[in-house]
């Protein structure tokens, strides 16, 4: 089946980035969120990134308008009925994702692939909420989506080869390089990245170094583009904590225990860039 119409659930930093790359690759996009103000914010974020592209001479004003014209917004999951492929990029909360997959399963045609951008929730667990587990797959984009080249493609235990091959090819159509991971907690990316970020938070908690020093060590000593604490602020501390909890629960291994300081920041509502304060102030 040719994919012409692409659905995205969630218009936040991941969802709007995914909608942008899909529209730039020529697909008609339906971007859905629960409130009109959320989808409007998503469109305005895409507009800002595309306008920067125009300023930098990467695209013309006409091309920008064509891309924006391909993105329709929605606040009703029922609007996903015409979609040929859907990616869910809602908040990293299991009950919310389960409900979305149940609703998508009822709305979308039976042959439509339902992908999730989850950073760590098991694909098989999400797939089991639908009547089409062979058509459920992980399609994990990295933040910021328009810049990062990777898509981690995760097979659930029931994911069919056809679903896998279609998702792999779609990632390439988006100009990304896919990598295959199995359905274990955190997959590959967050199994490796998040314990490093968590350890950086422990360094802060134990007073091993100040935030700037911890980040400078990793930036200049290991050539990372940004330090782990600044990266945690970019990802969102609530998401970082949710991923650590998934690793800890999934493996029952104390090496994945979330740092108490990370939890304290999340409880205080210091979630990083999106709330204006995390390990840094914005």
Residue bearing tokens 């409880």: 267
Choose the binding region for ligand CAA from 97-105, 122-130, 142-150, 160-168 (rule: CB under 6 A): 142-150
Contact between 100 and 136 (Cβ < 8 Å): no
CA angle 22, 26, 30 (to 5 degrees): 50
Integer Cα distance of 230 and 22 in angstroms: 28
Q: Is 140 a catalytic residue?
A: yes
Give min distance, CB of 243 to ligand CAA, in A: 6
Give min distance, CB of 210 to ligand CAA, in A: 20
Q: How many residues bind ligand CAA (CB under 6 A)?
A: 18
Contact between 219 and 225 (Cβ < 8 Å): yes
Asked whether position 147 contacts ligand CAA by CB under 6 A, the answer is yes
Task: Give the count of alpha carbons within 13 A of 161, CB side only.
Answer: 0
| Residue of 119, 120, 171, 198 with catalytic role | 119
State the DSSP code for 18.
H
Q: 3-class SS at 72?
A: strand
**What's the burial of 36, exposed, middle or buried (CB within 10 Å: 0-12/13-18/19+)?**
exposed
Q: Is 152 a catalytic residue?
A: yes
Asked whether position 207 contacts ligand CAA by CB under 6 A, the answer is no
| Residue of 16, 25, 190, 198 with catalytic role | 190
Nearer to ligand CAA, 89 or 203 (CB): 89
Asked whether position 225 contacts ligand CAA by CB under 6 A, the answer is yes
Asked whether position 48 contacts ligand CAA by CB under 6 A, the answer is no
Q: Which residues are catalytic?
A: 119, 140, 152, 190
Interacting residues toward ligand CAA by CB under 6 A: 49, 52, 56, 119, 142-144, 146-148, 189-190, 193, 225-226, 231, 235, 239
């Amino acid at each position: 089946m040719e994919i012409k119409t692409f659905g995205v659930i969630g218009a936040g930093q991941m969802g709007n980035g995914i909608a942008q790359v899909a529209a730039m690759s020529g697909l008609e996009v339906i971007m859905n969120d629960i409130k009109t103000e959320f989808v409007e914010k998503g469109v305005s974020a895409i507009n800002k990134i595309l306008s920067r592209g125009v300023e930098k001479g990467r695209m013309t004003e006409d091309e920008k308008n064509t891309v924006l014209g391909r993105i329709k917004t929605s606040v009703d999951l029922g609007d996903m009925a015409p979609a040929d492929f859907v990616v869910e990029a809602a908040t990293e909360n299991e009950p919310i994702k389960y409900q979305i997959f149940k609703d998508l399963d009822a709305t979308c045609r039976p042959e439509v692939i339902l992908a999730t951008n989850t950073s760590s929730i098991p694909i098989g667990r999400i797939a089991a909420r639908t009547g089409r587990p062979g058509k459920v797959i992980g399609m994990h984009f990295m933040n910021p989506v328009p810049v990062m080249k990777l898509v981690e493609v995760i097979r659930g235990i029931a994911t069919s080869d056809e679903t896998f091959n279609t998702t792999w090819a779609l990632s390439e159509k988006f100009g990304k390089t896919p990598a295959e991971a199995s359905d274990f907690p955190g997959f590959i990316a967050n199994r490796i990245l998040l314990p490093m970020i968590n350890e950086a938070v422990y360094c802060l908690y134990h007073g091993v170094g100040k935030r700037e020093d911890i980040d400078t060590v990793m930036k200049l000593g290991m050539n990372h583009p940004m330090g782990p604490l600044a990266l945690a602020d970019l990802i969102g501390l609530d998401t970082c904590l949710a991923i650590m909890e998934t690793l800890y629960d999934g493996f029952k291994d104390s090496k994945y225990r979330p740092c108490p300081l990370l939890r304290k920041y999340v409880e205080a509502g210091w979630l990083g860039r999106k709330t204006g304060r995390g390990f840094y102030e914005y």
